[in-house]
Chain A
Amino acid sequence: DAKTTQPPSMDCAEGRAANLPCNHSTISGNEYVYWYRQIHSQGPQYIIHGLKNNETNEMASLIITEDRKSSTLILPHATLRDTAVYYCIVRGPHGSSNTGKLIFGQGTTLQVKP
């Protein structure tokens, strides 16, 4: 499974966009990029995932570079409730025996400040 590299911590002002980077330079062509977040002592919350194209949902946008070696999670208008640990995970490939497991790194602790 491809490894990911994330900055250990980031700050963001409330109301501003939070841009969380992730490097996954060894990703293979059929591996997905997933983002989860975990608010203290709760179960991780699914945010978004993508393969090649940029994705957007009600929570966030995922921008994947053309070479797929890195991605950025964008929270368009961060609120205090977005303070959490954000995990970038490379998963797959689809059809392999490893599809069912998520390998979590240390993640990025995002602190949203008033």
Chain B
Amino acid sequence: KAGVTQTPRYLIKTRGQQVTLSCSPISGHRSVSWYQQTPGQGLQFLFEYFSETQRNKGNFPGRFSGRQFSNSRSEMNVSTLELGDSALYLCASSLVSGSDYEQYFGPGTRLTVT
């Protein structure tokens, strides 16, 4: 079974621009979560989607948004990019949303903001 895929893998943007990242979960998985990883803050939860609904949101500004489609694929969008948004953005999928269901991570998208 194919794993979680994320596109693009690498991205360079300029301050003030916006960016959209894509995540395709493992086939059959309906829950998708997004995380940001930086050297200073480590891995931080952004949000989780299940059945096209946002179930949980981390402590990030409104510039960070996401959505999930009926086929469970998810996108996250960052508007008005800042230098501090440079990070590895990771997507994880699980069968459903629940503590007893492990999340499987994709390889991430490396975003550099200049």
Residues of A within 8 A of B (CB): 30-32, 34, 41-46, 49, 51, 87, 91-106
Q: Interface centre among A97, A99, A103, by most B CB within 10 Å?
A: A99
Q: Are A49 and B45 in contact (CB under 8 A)?
A: no
A70 to B94, CA, bound (A): 26
Q: Are B33 and A101 in contact (CB under 8 A)?
A: yes
- A43, A51, A96, A103: which contacts B105 (Cβ < 8 A)? A43
Beyond the given pairs A43-B105, A91-B99, A100-B94, 19 more chain A to chain B contacts, judged by CB atoms under 8 angstroms and listed by A's residue number, are A32-B99, A42-B107, A42-B108, A43-B90, A45-B105, A46-B105, A92-B99, A93-B99, A97-B55, A97-B56, A98-B56, A100-B33, A100-B48, A100-B56, A101-B48, A101-B56, A102-B45, A104-B35, A104-B44
Q: Are B90 and A44 in contact (CB under 8 A)?
A: yes
A residues near B65, Cβ cutoff 8 Å: none
Say yes or no for B43: interface residue by CB 8 A criterion: yes
Q: Are A49 and B56 in contact (CB under 8 A)?
A: no
Q: Closest CB of chain B to A25's CB: distance in Å?
A: 19
- A99, A103, A105, A106: which contacts B97 (Cβ < 8 A)? A99
Q: Interface centre among B44, B99, B100, B108, by most A CB within 10 Å?
A: B99
B residues near A106, Cβ cutoff 8 Å: 42
